[in-house]
Structure 1
Amino acid sequence: MVTGLAGRVVCITGAAERAGAEFARRYVQAGAKVMISHLPSQAAQAEALLAELGSAAAACAGDITDPAQGRELVAACCDHFGRLDVLVHNASTFAPRPWLEVDEAAFDSALGVNLRGPFFLSQAAAKVMLTQGGGNIVALVGNSLSEAWPEFIPHSVAKTALARLMEQLAVALAPTIACNAVAPSQFFRSDDGSNDRLRQARGEAAPSGQTAQVRPGLWIREADLDAVFAALSYLSTCTPQVTGTTLRVDGGKALA
Protein backbone atom coordinates (compact mmCIF):
# COMPACT_ATOMS: atom_id res chain seq x y z
CA MET A 1 0.00 0.00 0.00
CA VAL A 2 1.27 3.47 -0.85
CA THR A 3 1.77 5.42 2.36
CA GLY A 4 0.08 8.77 2.78
CA LEU A 5 -2.96 8.12 0.58
CA ALA A 6 -5.16 6.46 3.18
CA GLY A 7 -8.26 8.57 3.76
CA ARG A 8 -7.42 11.16 1.13
CA VAL A 9 -10.10 12.15 -1.37
CA VAL A 10 -8.93 12.05 -4.98
CA CYS A 11 -10.86 13.34 -8.00
CA ILE A 12 -9.69 11.86 -11.33
CA THR A 13 -10.94 13.19 -14.65
CA GLY A 14 -11.50 10.72 -17.47
CA ALA A 15 -11.55 7.88 -14.94
CA ALA A 16 -14.27 5.59 -16.29
CA GLU A 17 -12.02 3.64 -18.63
CA ARG A 18 -8.48 2.90 -19.79
CA ALA A 19 -5.65 4.40 -17.72
CA GLY A 20 -7.99 6.56 -15.64
CA ALA A 21 -9.87 3.51 -14.40
CA GLU A 22 -6.58 1.77 -13.59
CA PHE A 23 -5.47 4.78 -11.58
CA ALA A 24 -8.80 4.78 -9.71
CA ARG A 25 -8.27 1.13 -8.78
CA ARG A 26 -4.77 1.82 -7.50
CA TYR A 27 -5.80 4.85 -5.46
CA VAL A 28 -8.56 2.82 -3.79
CA GLN A 29 -6.17 -0.06 -3.15
CA ALA A 30 -3.89 2.47 -1.43
CA GLY A 31 -6.71 3.51 0.89
CA ALA A 32 -7.96 6.65 -0.84
CA LYS A 33 -11.52 7.68 -1.68
CA VAL A 34 -12.02 8.38 -5.38
CA MET A 35 -14.42 10.56 -7.35
CA ILE A 36 -14.64 9.23 -10.92
CA SER A 37 -15.25 12.03 -13.40
CA HIS A 38 -16.59 10.82 -16.74
CA LEU A 39 -18.56 11.83 -19.81
CA PRO A 40 -22.29 11.03 -19.81
CA SER A 41 -21.64 8.58 -22.66
CA GLN A 42 -19.38 6.58 -20.31
CA ALA A 43 -22.06 5.94 -17.70
CA ALA A 44 -22.02 2.15 -18.18
CA GLN A 45 -18.26 1.95 -17.70
CA ALA A 46 -18.47 4.18 -14.63
CA GLU A 47 -21.21 2.04 -13.09
CA ALA A 48 -19.19 -1.12 -13.64
CA LEU A 49 -16.16 0.47 -12.00
CA LEU A 50 -18.24 1.64 -9.04
CA ALA A 51 -19.58 -1.87 -8.56
CA GLU A 52 -15.99 -3.08 -8.41
CA LEU A 53 -14.67 -0.39 -6.06
CA GLY A 54 -17.62 -0.18 -3.67
CA SER A 55 -18.14 2.64 -1.18
CA ALA A 56 -14.61 3.94 -1.64
CA ALA A 57 -15.66 5.47 -4.97
CA ALA A 58 -18.35 7.70 -6.42
CA ALA A 59 -18.96 9.01 -9.92
CA CYS A 60 -20.00 12.27 -11.52
CA ALA A 61 -20.97 12.65 -15.17
CA GLY A 62 -20.14 15.85 -17.00
CA ASP A 63 -18.03 17.68 -19.55
CA ILE A 64 -14.98 19.27 -17.96
CA THR A 65 -14.56 21.65 -20.90
CA ASP A 66 -17.56 23.51 -19.43
CA PRO A 67 -16.37 25.46 -16.36
CA ALA A 68 -19.83 25.25 -14.78
CA GLN A 69 -19.77 21.46 -15.00
CA GLY A 70 -16.25 21.48 -13.56
CA ARG A 71 -17.55 23.41 -10.56
CA GLU A 72 -20.38 20.89 -10.24
CA LEU A 73 -17.80 18.07 -10.19
CA VAL A 74 -15.93 19.68 -7.31
CA ALA A 75 -19.19 20.30 -5.45
CA ALA A 76 -20.28 16.69 -5.99
CA CYS A 77 -16.98 15.43 -4.61
CA CYS A 78 -17.26 17.61 -1.50
CA ASP A 79 -20.92 16.73 -0.99
CA HIS A 80 -20.20 13.00 -1.18
CA PHE A 81 -16.86 12.73 0.64
CA GLY A 82 -16.79 15.97 2.63
CA ARG A 83 -13.56 17.29 1.12
CA LEU A 84 -11.18 17.23 -1.84
CA ASP A 85 -7.48 16.56 -1.28
CA VAL A 86 -6.13 15.64 -4.72
CA LEU A 87 -7.14 16.59 -8.26
CA VAL A 88 -5.69 14.49 -11.06
CA HIS A 89 -6.00 15.90 -14.59
CA ASN A 90 -6.11 12.64 -16.56
CA ALA A 91 -8.82 13.26 -19.19
CA SER A 92 -7.38 13.72 -22.67
CA THR A 93 -8.14 13.66 -26.36
CA PHE A 94 -5.76 11.96 -28.78
CA ALA A 95 -7.19 12.00 -32.29
CA PRO A 96 -4.66 12.03 -35.16
CA ARG A 97 -5.09 14.54 -37.96
CA PRO A 98 -2.55 16.03 -40.38
CA TRP A 99 -1.82 19.62 -39.45
CA LEU A 100 -3.07 21.03 -42.76
CA GLU A 101 -6.42 19.34 -42.11
CA VAL A 102 -6.92 20.54 -38.53
CA ASP A 103 -10.14 22.55 -38.36
CA GLU A 104 -11.53 24.80 -35.64
CA ALA A 105 -13.57 22.01 -34.06
CA ALA A 106 -10.59 19.68 -33.71
CA PHE A 107 -8.43 22.48 -32.32
CA ASP A 108 -11.07 23.59 -29.81
CA SER A 109 -11.68 20.00 -28.71
CA ALA A 110 -8.02 19.37 -27.99
CA LEU A 111 -7.51 22.60 -26.07
CA GLY A 112 -10.86 22.26 -24.33
CA VAL A 113 -10.14 18.89 -22.75
CA ASN A 114 -6.40 19.28 -22.27
CA LEU A 115 -6.13 22.92 -21.17
CA ARG A 116 -9.36 24.92 -20.78
CA GLY A 117 -11.00 22.24 -18.65
CA PRO A 118 -8.00 21.76 -16.33
CA PHE A 119 -7.59 25.54 -15.99
CA PHE A 120 -11.07 26.16 -14.64
CA LEU A 121 -11.32 22.85 -12.80
CA SER A 122 -8.09 23.68 -10.97
CA GLN A 123 -9.58 27.02 -10.07
CA ALA A 124 -12.67 25.40 -8.55
CA ALA A 125 -10.63 22.76 -6.70
CA ALA A 126 -8.14 25.32 -5.39
CA LYS A 127 -10.90 27.31 -3.69
CA VAL A 128 -11.80 24.20 -1.69
CA MET A 129 -8.20 23.22 -0.98
CA LEU A 130 -7.26 26.71 0.21
CA THR A 131 -10.17 26.64 2.64
CA GLN A 132 -9.07 23.20 3.86
CA GLY A 133 -5.51 24.38 4.30
CA GLY A 134 -3.84 22.13 1.73
CA GLY A 135 -4.10 19.93 -1.32
CA ASN A 136 -2.35 18.58 -4.40
CA ILE A 137 -3.05 19.11 -8.10
CA VAL A 138 -1.36 16.76 -10.58
CA ALA A 139 -1.55 16.83 -14.39
CA LEU A 140 -0.65 14.03 -16.78
CA VAL A 141 1.08 15.71 -19.71
CA GLY A 142 2.72 12.80 -21.53
CA ASN A 143 5.78 13.03 -23.74
CA SER A 144 4.57 15.98 -25.82
CA LEU A 145 7.02 18.15 -23.89
CA SER A 146 10.02 16.59 -25.59
CA GLU A 147 8.75 14.92 -28.77
CA ALA A 148 7.20 16.16 -32.00
CA TRP A 149 3.97 14.48 -33.14
CA PRO A 150 2.98 16.05 -36.49
CA GLU A 151 -0.49 14.47 -36.49
CA PHE A 152 -1.24 15.58 -32.91
CA ILE A 153 -0.19 19.24 -32.90
CA PRO A 154 -3.24 20.67 -31.03
CA HIS A 155 -2.91 17.89 -28.44
CA SER A 156 0.83 18.47 -28.02
CA VAL A 157 0.44 22.25 -27.74
CA ALA A 158 -2.30 21.87 -25.15
CA LYS A 159 -0.36 19.35 -23.05
CA THR A 160 2.74 21.53 -23.14
CA ALA A 161 0.65 24.47 -21.98
CA LEU A 162 -0.87 22.29 -19.25
CA ALA A 163 2.59 21.61 -17.83
CA ARG A 164 3.27 25.34 -17.86
CA LEU A 165 -0.08 25.93 -16.16
CA MET A 166 1.02 23.70 -13.28
CA GLU A 167 4.17 25.82 -12.95
CA GLN A 168 2.14 29.01 -12.86
CA LEU A 169 -0.32 27.60 -10.32
CA ALA A 170 2.56 26.40 -8.16
CA VAL A 171 3.41 30.04 -7.56
CA ALA A 172 -0.15 31.36 -7.46
CA LEU A 173 -1.22 28.76 -4.88
CA ALA A 174 1.97 28.68 -2.79
CA PRO A 175 2.55 27.87 0.00
CA THR A 176 -0.65 25.86 0.47
CA ILE A 177 -1.21 23.71 -2.63
CA ALA A 178 1.37 21.63 -4.51
CA CYS A 179 0.90 21.70 -8.29
CA ASN A 180 2.94 19.33 -10.43
CA ALA A 181 2.93 17.32 -13.66
CA VAL A 182 3.86 13.80 -14.72
CA ALA A 183 5.33 13.27 -18.19
CA PRO A 184 5.38 9.56 -19.01
CA SER A 185 6.30 7.97 -22.30
CA GLN A 186 3.63 5.70 -23.79
CA PHE A 187 2.43 3.41 -21.03
CA PHE A 188 -1.08 2.35 -22.06
CA ARG A 189 -1.16 0.60 -25.41
CA SER A 190 -4.41 0.49 -27.36
CA ASP A 191 -5.96 -2.83 -28.26
CA ASP A 192 -6.23 -1.96 -31.96
CA GLY A 193 -2.51 -1.46 -32.42
CA SER A 194 -2.77 2.26 -33.23
CA ASN A 195 -0.13 3.18 -30.63
CA ASP A 196 2.36 0.79 -32.17
CA ARG A 197 1.65 2.20 -35.64
CA LEU A 198 2.33 5.71 -34.35
CA ARG A 199 5.67 4.56 -33.01
CA GLN A 200 6.58 2.93 -36.28
CA ALA A 201 5.73 6.16 -38.12
CA ARG A 202 8.29 7.90 -35.89
CA GLY A 203 10.91 5.27 -36.67
CA GLU A 204 10.55 3.54 -33.31
CA ALA A 205 10.11 -0.17 -32.74
CA ALA A 206 7.18 -1.60 -30.82
CA PRO A 207 8.15 -2.52 -27.25
CA SER A 208 9.50 -5.97 -26.56
CA GLY A 209 8.77 -6.99 -23.00
CA GLN A 210 9.86 -4.19 -20.68
CA THR A 211 12.19 -2.46 -23.09
CA ALA A 212 11.88 -0.56 -26.36
CA GLN A 213 14.36 0.51 -29.00
CA VAL A 214 14.35 4.28 -29.47
CA ARG A 215 16.95 4.16 -32.24
CA PRO A 216 19.47 1.59 -33.41
CA GLY A 217 21.65 0.59 -30.49
CA LEU A 218 19.68 2.54 -27.89
CA TRP A 219 17.13 0.81 -25.66
CA ILE A 220 15.12 2.23 -22.78
CA ARG A 221 12.99 0.68 -20.07
CA GLU A 222 9.33 1.18 -20.90
CA ALA A 223 7.02 3.20 -18.70
CA ASP A 224 4.12 1.20 -17.32
CA LEU A 225 1.03 1.78 -15.19
CA ASP A 226 2.80 0.92 -11.96
CA ALA A 227 5.62 3.37 -12.66
CA VAL A 228 3.22 6.17 -13.62
CA PHE A 229 1.07 5.55 -10.55
CA ALA A 230 4.16 5.63 -8.34
CA ALA A 231 4.79 9.15 -9.66
CA LEU A 232 1.13 10.12 -9.24
CA SER A 233 0.97 8.79 -5.70
CA TYR A 234 4.10 10.69 -4.70
CA LEU A 235 2.86 13.96 -6.17
CA SER A 236 -0.55 13.34 -4.54
CA THR A 237 1.02 13.32 -1.09
CA CYS A 238 4.13 15.47 -1.40
CA THR A 239 4.89 18.51 0.68
CA PRO A 240 3.94 21.91 -0.78
CA GLN A 241 7.66 22.60 -1.11
CA VAL A 242 7.70 20.09 -3.98
CA THR A 243 5.75 22.14 -6.48
CA GLY A 244 6.04 23.43 -10.03
CA THR A 245 7.89 20.30 -11.15
CA THR A 246 7.40 17.94 -14.07
CA LEU A 247 8.40 14.40 -13.20
CA ARG A 248 9.43 12.41 -16.27
CA VAL A 249 8.65 8.70 -16.30
CA ASP A 250 10.21 7.71 -19.60
CA GLY A 251 13.30 5.58 -18.92
CA GLY A 252 15.48 8.45 -20.07
CA LYS A 253 13.83 8.70 -23.49
CA ALA A 254 13.74 12.49 -23.42
CA LEU A 255 17.50 12.53 -23.03
CA ALA A 256 18.22 10.10 -25.87
Structure 2
Amino acid sequence: MLDIFSLEGKLAIVTGSARGIGQAYALGLAKAGATLVLVDILEDNLQETASLIKEATGRDSKTYGIDVTDSTKINAMVSELIAEFGKIDILVNNAGINAPKPFLEVTEEDWKKIVGVNLNSQFLMSSAVAKEMVKRNYGKIINMASVGGFMALSETAPYNASKGGVLQLTKTMAADLSQYNLNINAICPGFIDTGLLKSSPEREARLQKVYANTPLNRLGEPSDLVGACVFLASDASKYMTGTQIVVDGGMSAVAM
Protein backbone atom coordinates (compact mmCIF):
# COMPACT_ATOMS: atom_id res chain seq x y z
CA MET A 1 0.00 0.00 0.00
CA LEU A 2 2.84 2.41 0.80
CA ASP A 3 4.13 1.96 -2.77
CA ILE A 4 1.75 4.75 -3.80
CA PHE A 5 4.10 7.17 -2.01
CA SER A 6 7.17 5.94 -3.89
CA LEU A 7 8.92 8.33 -6.28
CA GLU A 8 11.33 5.75 -7.73
CA GLY A 9 12.26 6.64 -11.29
CA LYS A 10 10.87 10.18 -11.06
CA LEU A 11 12.79 13.36 -11.89
CA ALA A 12 11.98 16.27 -9.57
CA ILE A 13 12.94 19.95 -9.77
CA VAL A 14 12.95 21.94 -6.52
CA THR A 15 13.55 25.69 -6.69
CA GLY A 16 14.97 27.55 -3.71
CA SER A 17 16.62 24.31 -2.61
CA ALA A 18 19.91 25.71 -1.27
CA ARG A 19 18.59 25.90 2.30
CA GLY A 20 15.56 25.91 4.57
CA ILE A 21 12.27 24.50 3.32
CA GLY A 22 13.55 23.85 -0.20
CA GLN A 23 16.47 21.83 1.12
CA ALA A 24 14.09 19.77 3.30
CA TYR A 25 11.79 19.16 0.32
CA ALA A 26 14.67 18.06 -1.89
CA LEU A 27 16.01 15.64 0.70
CA GLY A 28 12.52 14.24 1.39
CA LEU A 29 11.77 13.68 -2.29
CA ALA A 30 15.17 12.03 -2.77
CA LYS A 31 14.56 9.68 0.17
CA ALA A 32 11.25 8.74 -1.47
CA GLY A 33 13.20 7.69 -4.56
CA ALA A 34 13.32 10.72 -6.88
CA THR A 35 16.33 12.03 -8.75
CA LEU A 36 16.72 15.69 -7.87
CA VAL A 37 17.38 18.83 -9.86
CA LEU A 38 18.36 21.57 -7.41
CA VAL A 39 17.76 25.18 -8.43
CA ASP A 40 18.71 28.32 -6.50
CA ILE A 41 20.36 31.66 -7.10
CA LEU A 42 22.65 30.76 -4.15
CA GLU A 43 24.72 28.45 -6.30
CA ASP A 44 27.45 27.68 -3.75
CA ASN A 45 24.90 26.59 -1.13
CA LEU A 46 23.35 24.06 -3.52
CA GLN A 47 26.35 21.81 -3.01
CA GLU A 48 25.37 21.34 0.64
CA THR A 49 21.95 20.07 -0.41
CA ALA A 50 23.51 17.83 -3.06
CA SER A 51 25.90 16.41 -0.47
CA LEU A 52 23.06 15.67 1.98
CA ILE A 53 21.17 13.83 -0.76
CA LYS A 54 24.27 11.86 -1.78
CA GLU A 55 24.90 10.86 1.83
CA ALA A 56 21.30 9.81 2.41
CA THR A 57 20.58 8.02 -0.87
CA GLY A 58 23.83 7.47 -2.73
CA ARG A 59 22.42 9.36 -5.72
CA ASP A 60 23.84 12.42 -7.43
CA SER A 61 21.79 15.55 -8.09
CA LYS A 62 21.99 18.14 -10.84
CA THR A 63 22.42 21.74 -9.72
CA TYR A 64 21.55 24.99 -11.46
CA GLY A 65 22.55 28.32 -9.96
CA ILE A 66 20.02 30.45 -11.80
CA ASP A 67 17.61 33.29 -11.12
CA VAL A 68 14.10 31.83 -11.31
CA THR A 69 12.72 35.13 -12.59
CA ASP A 70 14.86 34.82 -15.74
CA SER A 71 12.78 33.03 -18.38
CA THR A 72 15.75 32.62 -20.75
CA LYS A 73 17.74 30.68 -18.16
CA ILE A 74 14.69 28.66 -17.13
CA ASN A 75 13.96 27.62 -20.70
CA ALA A 76 17.61 26.67 -21.29
CA MET A 77 17.61 24.53 -18.13
CA VAL A 78 14.40 22.73 -19.11
CA SER A 79 15.73 22.04 -22.60
CA GLU A 80 18.92 20.59 -21.14
CA LEU A 81 17.00 18.36 -18.72
CA ILE A 82 14.73 17.04 -21.47
CA ALA A 83 17.75 16.30 -23.64
CA GLU A 84 19.40 14.36 -20.81
CA PHE A 85 16.47 12.68 -19.06
CA GLY A 86 13.67 12.85 -21.61
CA LYS A 87 11.13 13.97 -19.01
CA ILE A 88 10.33 16.03 -15.92
CA ASP A 89 7.89 14.38 -13.52
CA ILE A 90 7.71 16.78 -10.58
CA LEU A 91 8.16 20.53 -10.13
CA VAL A 92 8.21 22.13 -6.69
CA ASN A 93 8.02 25.92 -6.97
CA ASN A 94 9.53 26.71 -3.60
CA ALA A 95 11.68 29.80 -4.20
CA GLY A 96 10.40 32.76 -2.23
CA ILE A 97 11.38 35.87 -0.29
CA ASN A 98 9.89 38.30 2.20
CA ALA A 99 10.86 41.67 3.68
CA PRO A 100 8.38 42.55 6.45
CA LYS A 101 7.62 46.22 6.89
CA PRO A 102 4.54 48.41 7.46
CA PHE A 103 2.47 49.04 4.33
CA LEU A 104 3.34 52.75 4.13
CA GLU A 105 7.04 51.87 4.07
CA VAL A 106 6.75 49.39 1.20
CA THR A 107 8.52 50.72 -1.89
CA GLU A 108 7.81 49.98 -5.51
CA GLU A 109 11.12 48.11 -5.62
CA ASP A 110 10.05 45.97 -2.62
CA TRP A 111 6.78 45.15 -4.35
CA LYS A 112 8.35 44.20 -7.70
CA LYS A 113 11.09 42.07 -6.13
CA ILE A 114 8.84 40.08 -3.79
CA VAL A 115 6.04 39.54 -6.31
CA GLY A 116 8.67 38.72 -8.95
CA VAL A 117 10.25 35.91 -6.96
CA ASN A 118 7.15 34.60 -5.17
CA LEU A 119 4.59 34.72 -8.00
CA ASN A 120 6.16 35.49 -11.37
CA SER A 121 8.80 32.78 -10.98
CA GLN A 122 6.13 30.16 -10.30
CA PHE A 123 4.38 31.12 -13.53
CA LEU A 124 7.63 31.07 -15.53
CA MET A 125 8.83 27.74 -14.14
CA SER A 126 5.40 26.12 -14.46
CA SER A 127 4.92 27.35 -18.01
CA ALA A 128 8.26 25.96 -19.18
CA VAL A 129 7.90 22.62 -17.39
CA ALA A 130 4.19 22.04 -18.07
CA LYS A 131 4.80 22.31 -21.83
CA GLU A 132 6.97 19.20 -21.50
CA MET A 133 4.71 17.41 -19.03
CA VAL A 134 1.67 17.58 -21.31
CA LYS A 135 3.58 15.68 -24.00
CA ARG A 136 3.60 12.66 -21.67
CA ASN A 137 0.17 13.21 -20.09
CA TYR A 138 1.80 13.16 -16.67
CA GLY A 139 3.12 15.67 -14.17
CA LYS A 140 2.96 16.97 -10.63
CA ILE A 141 3.39 20.67 -9.93
CA ILE A 142 3.50 21.82 -6.32
CA ASN A 143 3.32 25.56 -5.69
CA MET A 144 4.41 27.16 -2.45
CA ALA A 145 1.72 29.47 -1.12
CA SER A 146 1.21 30.45 2.52
CA VAL A 147 -1.49 31.08 5.10
CA GLY A 148 -0.69 34.68 4.13
CA GLY A 149 -2.44 33.92 0.85
CA PHE A 150 -5.80 33.87 2.61
CA MET A 151 -5.09 35.58 5.95
CA ALA A 152 -4.07 39.22 6.43
CA LEU A 153 -0.73 38.82 8.19
CA SER A 154 0.47 42.27 9.24
CA GLU A 155 3.39 44.13 7.65
CA THR A 156 3.67 41.74 4.70
CA ALA A 157 1.52 43.27 1.96
CA PRO A 158 3.63 42.23 -1.07
CA TYR A 159 4.18 38.75 0.37
CA ASN A 160 0.49 38.20 1.15
CA ALA A 161 -0.54 39.50 -2.26
CA SER A 162 1.96 37.26 -4.03
CA LYS A 163 0.84 34.18 -2.10
CA GLY A 164 -2.82 34.95 -2.77
CA GLY A 165 -1.85 35.10 -6.42
CA VAL A 166 -0.15 31.70 -6.12
CA LEU A 167 -3.39 30.16 -4.84
CA GLN A 168 -5.36 31.55 -7.78
CA LEU A 169 -2.62 30.55 -10.21
CA THR A 170 -2.76 27.01 -8.80
CA LYS A 171 -6.51 26.75 -9.29
CA THR A 172 -6.40 28.13 -12.83
CA MET A 173 -3.50 25.91 -13.85
CA ALA A 174 -5.43 22.92 -12.52
CA ALA A 175 -8.52 23.88 -14.49
CA ASP A 176 -6.54 24.31 -17.71
CA LEU A 177 -4.15 21.37 -17.38
CA SER A 178 -6.29 18.60 -15.89
CA GLN A 179 -7.14 17.42 -19.42
CA TYR A 180 -3.46 16.42 -19.70
CA ASN A 181 -3.48 14.46 -16.42
CA LEU A 182 -1.40 17.06 -14.59
CA ASN A 183 -1.97 17.52 -10.86
CA ILE A 184 -1.44 21.11 -9.68
CA ASN A 185 -1.65 21.79 -5.95
CA ALA A 186 -0.23 24.12 -3.32
CA ILE A 187 1.16 23.95 0.19
CA CYS A 188 0.33 26.72 2.66
CA PRO A 189 2.76 26.82 5.58
CA GLY A 190 2.27 28.85 8.71
CA PHE A 191 5.26 30.25 10.61
CA ILE A 192 8.26 28.04 9.81
CA ASP A 193 11.65 28.43 11.50
CA THR A 194 14.13 28.39 8.64
CA GLY A 195 16.96 29.74 10.77
CA LEU A 196 17.03 33.12 9.02
CA LEU A 197 15.62 35.01 12.00
CA LYS A 198 18.50 34.96 14.46
CA SER A 199 18.23 35.33 18.22
CA SER A 200 17.18 38.89 18.98
CA PRO A 201 14.45 40.87 20.75
CA GLU A 202 12.61 40.88 17.39
CA ARG A 203 12.72 37.08 17.23
CA GLU A 204 11.49 36.71 20.81
CA ALA A 205 8.60 39.12 20.24
CA ARG A 206 7.60 37.27 17.09
CA LEU A 207 7.82 33.90 18.83
CA GLN A 208 5.51 35.03 21.58
CA LYS A 209 2.96 36.17 19.00
CA VAL A 210 3.20 32.86 17.16
CA TYR A 211 2.82 30.82 20.32
CA ALA A 212 -0.21 32.83 21.39
CA ASN A 213 -1.96 32.21 18.08
CA THR A 214 -0.90 28.64 17.24
CA PRO A 215 -2.73 25.75 18.93
CA LEU A 216 0.32 23.49 18.67
CA ASN A 217 2.25 26.23 20.51
CA ARG A 218 5.46 26.16 18.49
CA LEU A 219 7.07 27.27 15.28
CA GLY A 220 7.01 24.80 12.44
CA GLU A 221 10.20 23.18 11.18
CA PRO A 222 11.00 22.64 7.49
CA SER A 223 10.71 18.90 8.14
CA ASP A 224 7.06 19.40 9.13
CA LEU A 225 6.27 20.21 5.48
CA VAL A 226 8.02 17.28 3.83
CA GLY A 227 5.17 14.80 4.22
CA ALA A 228 2.76 17.09 2.37
CA CYS A 229 5.28 17.58 -0.44
CA VAL A 230 5.96 13.86 -0.91
CA PHE A 231 2.22 13.15 -0.80
CA LEU A 232 1.45 15.72 -3.51
CA ALA A 233 4.37 14.51 -5.63
CA SER A 234 3.27 10.88 -5.47
CA ASP A 235 0.43 8.78 -6.87
CA ALA A 236 -1.20 8.93 -3.43
CA SER A 237 -2.62 12.31 -4.49
CA LYS A 238 -3.56 11.45 -8.08
CA TYR A 239 -7.21 12.53 -7.56
CA MET A 240 -6.24 15.91 -6.09
CA THR A 241 -5.82 19.04 -8.15
CA GLY A 242 -6.47 22.74 -7.76
CA THR A 243 -6.39 22.68 -3.98
CA GLN A 244 -4.01 23.35 -1.11
CA ILE A 245 -2.73 21.64 2.02
CA VAL A 246 -2.40 23.92 5.05
CA VAL A 247 0.46 23.08 7.43
CA ASP A 248 0.32 25.76 10.11
CA GLY A 249 0.01 24.17 13.54
CA GLY A 250 -3.64 25.16 13.63
CA MET A 251 -3.01 28.89 13.27
CA SER A 252 -5.65 29.44 10.59
CA ALA A 253 -8.22 27.55 12.63
CA VAL A 254 -8.30 30.17 15.37
CA ALA A 255 -8.83 33.94 15.39
CA MET A 256 -5.62 35.94 15.29
**Aligned-partner Cα distance in 1 for 2:200–2:126:** 30
| TM-score between the two structures when normalised by the length of structure 1 | 0.86
Give 1:193's aligned residue.
Answer: 198
Tell me the CA shift for residue 222 of structure 1: 5.2
- Select the residue among 204, 210, 228 that pairs with 1:231: 228
2:133 to 123, 129, 134: 129
Equivalent pair of 1:28/1:56 in contact (CA under 8 Å): no
Q: How does 1:35-46 map to 2 (within 5 A)?
A: 35-39=37-41, 42-46=42-46
Name the CA shift for 1:19/1:132 in 2 (closer, same or farther; >3 Å). Answer: same
The residue that corresponds to 1:56 in the other structure is 60
How does the TM-score come out when normalised to structure 2?
0.86
Q: Which amino acid aligns with 2:213?
A: V
Structure number with the bigger relative contact order (C-alpha 8 A, sep ≥ 6) is: 2
Name stretches of at least 5 consecutive residues in structure 2 with no aligned partner.
Answer: none
Aligned match of 2:26: 24
The question of 1:148 aligning with 2:152 is answered yes
Query: Aligned equivalents of 1:99 and 1:232: distance in 2?
Result: 32
Where 2:213 maps in the other structure, the secondary structure is strand
Q: In the comparison of the two structures, how many residue pairs are matched?
A: 246
Contact 1:174 1:240 in 2 (8 A): no
Name the CA distance, whole Å, in 2 between partners of 1:166 and 1:85.
17
Aligned AA (1:26):
G
1:164 aligns with: 168
Amino acid at match of 1:129: M
* Other-structure match for 1:181: 186
- Note if contact 1:142-1:186 (Cα within 8 Å) is conserved in structure 2: no
**Are 2:20 and 1:7 equivalent residues in the alignment?**
no
Residues 44 and 195 from structure 1, CA distance in 2 versus in 1: closer, same or farther, beyond 3 angstroms?
A: same
Q: Which moved more, 1:25-34 or 1:42-51?
A: 42-51
Contact 2:207 2:219 in 1 (8 A): no
Aligned residue identity for 1:185? G
Structure 1 CA distance for aligned equivalents of residues 216 and 38 of structure 2:
36
* RMSD value, Cα: 2.5
**Structure 1 CA distance for aligned equivalents of residues 251 and 103 of structure 2:** 25
SS in 2 for 1:229: helix
Take 2:149 and 2:200, find their aligned partners in 1: how far apart are those partners?
A: 18
Gap regions ≥5 residues in structure 1: 206-211
Could you list the structure 1 runs, at least 4 aligned residues long, displaced by more than 4 angstroms after superposition: 218-222
Query: How far apart in 2 are the matches of 1:25 and 1:35?
Result: 11
Instruction: Tell me the distance in 2 between the aligned counterparts of 1:191 and 1:116.
Output: 23
**Structure ranking higher in strand proportion:** 1
Structure 2: which amino acid aligns with 1:131?
Answer: K
Query: How far is 1:69 from its partner?
Result: 1.9
